[in-house]
Amino acid sequence: MAGLPLLPGYSLYDPTALQKPIRQSLGWKKGVPLVQASHVSLLSEEDHDDLIRQERKLQFADKGRRSRTPPKFLPEWAVLEKKVLRFSGYFTEHIDGGPQVYRIRPVVICYYLLDDAIMVIEPKTPNSGLEQGRLLSRQRVPHPDGGFWHWTQLNLGMTLSLYGRKFVVCDCDPFTKEYLVSEGTELNNPLPIPQDPYNLLRRSRAESPSRGSDLRPRSAPLAPPSLRGVVLKFDTLVEGVDCGQPAVSPAVLLYRPEDLTIELRQPSYFDHTEIKKFSPVILRALKVPLSDTRKSGFVDIGEESEVGDWIMPRHLIPPANVNIFGRRVMVVGCDDYTSQFLKDFYGVEHSPPMKNVETRKPDESGSSGKTQSDIVPRPKIRRGLLNAKDAAILRFSAKLDSPDGEENDRNFILTYHLIDDTFEITELPKPGGLGGRILSRSHVPKPPPSENEKGAGKYAVRDIYNLDDFYIGSKLDVWGRHYIITGADRYVLNYVREHENEVSPKLYSSLANFFGQVESIDQEQQKEETACGEVE
């Protein structure tokens, strides 16, 4: 069989052999896949000896000539994922109408090698007044000559045009420099970023030794720390003319020793029927000369260099008369703080206190009140924890008494607060109507008994509505609109029963009659419903 030629039809195997095994070359040992060693050597003895000699030669040969292991393969996106070229530069911004013609604004230009995108960031400067931060988000920027900007086109000292704005590239970080040089780019010499002339001007102003910490004129001396923020308050009477006759009007004089300025204000008006308003200003805060500065019939305030003597606190010790721009002002009193100030600095004992001056407001608003010498109203005294009586709120139902018949179907809820005798009015919504709050929580004065006075001036009395006026069927005059009390909550009756000695008998009897009628109506309705059920 061995000498037969290899021709078709000749069999090269033993047909009598029944098993034809294949030797297993793979196996497992202790859970690790291994390749079993072949029983037959694949190399001849000569080749095996030559391989041993080559291994020894590689082991003891010069390290510089040893073959290097090929690096692990990485795709391009993984190699360039976090590689960013960082350049520093600036751009010039022109200013219209300023002391400087332009401004220098430094920026940082980042180029991402992964997707050839560019991002421009301007470092934030404290108190710059500019919208700094990210000027250009990460994106591919078109090149003026076509295509997009590429890192091969970037170099130091060049002008980078991004969407019409020109940036001057000045320098780069060490990684960018090493990368560009390794890729064959010849870098130009770095350029310094010019200083911003506007920042230099601001720095020179801040570091100037002639500039004080406040905005006073340079001729005005700095006040000692003990007088800074001190305000002296005097009660005064200002002489004037009303309809050709001499008249006197009250005013409050505020004196600031820090800058020797005087301010005149009208006293605050107080009225429980309106919102507290600020005091109108008669004379804004300025320095007043001690002598009369009127020239040719008009008032001349004058410059500080021309006027030497100013009104000082010693000229305002009550009682005193001072001339403020041709108007005689009589100082009649001062507050406690001012009295202590005059005692400490001038040795004045027992200064007259400020007085409350009773006056009437003009009849334009129709209300009247007190004119006090305090500029700022004293805050309302707030109570601590409220007792059950003060925290109680009583609710009444009411209707509008109007000659117009279309408004008689409007229903209202009057919420009365026992703590301060205030109430608010809310209209119940109906189909086609809005409803909502009609009157905010406030005191409402009663109209005077006489009906001769007309207009808003008839509410000039200080008597206000209280709980005794909210009996069933009473008519309340709320700023010219009449409301009729038609009902109340059951809680109102329970409260009146507990405090029967504190309320009027008319209120108690009206509530008892009202709820008695309501109970009788409910009983009749229950009887009718029971009768209807039996018939069915």
| 190 and 129 belong to one structural domain | yes
- Report the chain's mean pLDDT, rounded to a whole number: 77
Query: Of the given ranges (27-41, 220-234, 353-367, 461-475), which has the lowest mean pLDDT?
Result: 353-367
- Inform me whether the pLDDT recorded for 370 exceeds 80: no
**Is pLDDT larger for residue 397 or for residue 56?**
397
Q: Which residues pair with 475 in a beta bridge?
A: 484
User: Which residue type is seen at 333?
Assistant: G
pLDDT in tens, 115-128: 899 999 999 888 78
pTM above 0.85, yes or no: no
- Would you say residue 531 lies in a domain? no
- Would you say residue 281 lies in a domain? yes
| 162 and 192 belong to one structural domain | yes
Q: Once rounded to an integer, what is the mean pLDDT over residues 527-536?
A: 59
| 365 and 336 belong to one structural domain | yes
Predicted local distance difference test score (pLDDT) of residue 49:
84
| 421 and 502 belong to one structural domain | yes
Residue that is last in its domain, among 372, 406, 423: 372
- Would you say residue 44 lies in a domain? no
Q: What is the full DSSP assignment across 266-291?
A: PPEEE-TTS---PPPEEEEEE--BSS
Here the CATH number for the domain that contains residue 497 is 2.30.29.170
Q: Band of the pLDDT at 247, cuts 50, 70, 90?
A: confident
| 115 and 145 belong to one structural domain | yes
| 397 and 436 belong to one structural domain | yes
Predicted local distance difference test score (pLDDT) of residue 142:
92
CB 319 within 8 A of CB 330: yes
| 261 and 355 belong to one structural domain | yes
Q: What is the full DSSP assignment across 441-462?
A: EE--BPPPS-S---SGGGG-S-
**Is pLDDT larger for residue 370 or for residue 287?**
287
- Inform me whether the pLDDT recorded for 281 exceeds 70: yes
Most confident range, picked from 154-163, 363-372, 458-467: 154-163
| 244 and 354 belong to one structural domain | yes
- Inform me whether the pLDDT recorded for 207 exceeds 80: no
Predicted local distance difference test score (pLDDT) of residue 102:
83
Task: Determine what percent of the chain falls in helix, strand and coil, rounding each to the nearest 5.
Answer: 20, 30, 50
Query: Of the given ranges (262-266, 333-337, 402-406, 435-439), which has the lowest mean pLDDT?
Result: 402-406
Map tokens 């301010």 to a residue.
Answer: 263
Q: Band of the pLDDT at 149, cuts 50, 70, 90?
A: very high
* Residue range of the domain that includes 142: 78-200
Q: How far apart are the C-alpha atoms of 276 and 272, rounded to whole Å?
A: 9
Beta strands in 300-458, from DSSP E residues, in sequence order:
320-324, 327-334, 370-372, 393-401, 411-417, 422-427, 436-442
| 306 and 404 belong to one structural domain | no
**Number of domains comprising the chain:** 3
- Inform me whether the pLDDT recorded for 404 exceeds 80: no
